[in-house]
């Protein structure tokens, strides 16, 4: 994307400062709102002007974070009908299948889990982006963050 971040310690400090202002210290949302969305919008605005057909980058960008709208995104990418596939650690196939069939509707509102990626583009590319932020560098912290959701 051609986005250059500051050095690692400056990025961590900036995200930590921003996250500290939120109730739950939401580091992931802070990373997305501080670096990902501004960089994505800048890229689209500089390199995709023809394919945007006069629309602003935020008009085609969807973001889970309400704090990112309307500056960087026009709406949320939440998928209300849900989706049959989701990350559930330790879920048994028979339980998942029972949910799909509607057997656990007393426990869940829908047989499918609601899906909401962090960022999505409606145009010029149909892309879904799921971001993970982890403080400790390395493959294991990245793997843990991805699996735990």
Per-residue pLDDT at 58: 92
> Under a CB-based contact definition with an 8 Å cutoff, are residues 61 and 76 in contact?
no
Which tokens in the block code for residue 87?
A: 């990350």
At 85, the pLDDT band (50, 70, 90 cuts) reads low
Mark whether 26 and 86 lie in a shared domain.
Answer: no
Q: Identify whether 134 is part of a domain.
A: yes
Q: Are strands 79-83 and 61-63 parallel, antiparallel or unpaired?
A: unpaired
CB 86 within 8 A of CB 149: no
Do 27 and 92 fall within a single domain? Answer: no
Judge whether 98 lies within some domain. Answer: yes
- Structural domain boundaries enclosing 17: 1-77+117-142
Q: Are residues 8 and 58 in the same domain?
A: yes
- Taking all residues of the chain, what is their mean pLDDT, rounded to a whole number? 78
Q: pTM value?
A: 0.71
Q: How many structural domains is the chain composed of?
A: 2
């Amino acid at each position: 994307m051609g986005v250059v971040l500051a050095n690692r310690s400056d990025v961590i400090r900036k995200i930590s400062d921003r996250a500290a202002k939120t109730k739950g210290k939401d580091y992931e949302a802070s990373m997305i709102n501080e670096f990902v969305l501004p960089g994505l919008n800048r890229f689209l605005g500089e390199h995709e002007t023809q394919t945007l057909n006069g629309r602003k980058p935020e008009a085609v960008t969807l973001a889970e974070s309400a704090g990112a709208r309307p500056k960087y995104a026009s709406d949320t990418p939440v998928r209300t009908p849900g989706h049959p596939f989701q990350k559930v650690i330790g879920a048994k196939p028979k339980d998942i299948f029972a949910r799909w069939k509607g057997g656990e509707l007393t426990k869940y509102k829908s047989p499918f889990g609601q899906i909401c990626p962090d960022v999505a583009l409606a145009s010029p590319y149909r892309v879904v982006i799921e971001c993970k932020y982890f403080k400790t560098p390395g493959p294991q912290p990245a793997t843990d963050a991805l699996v735990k959701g």
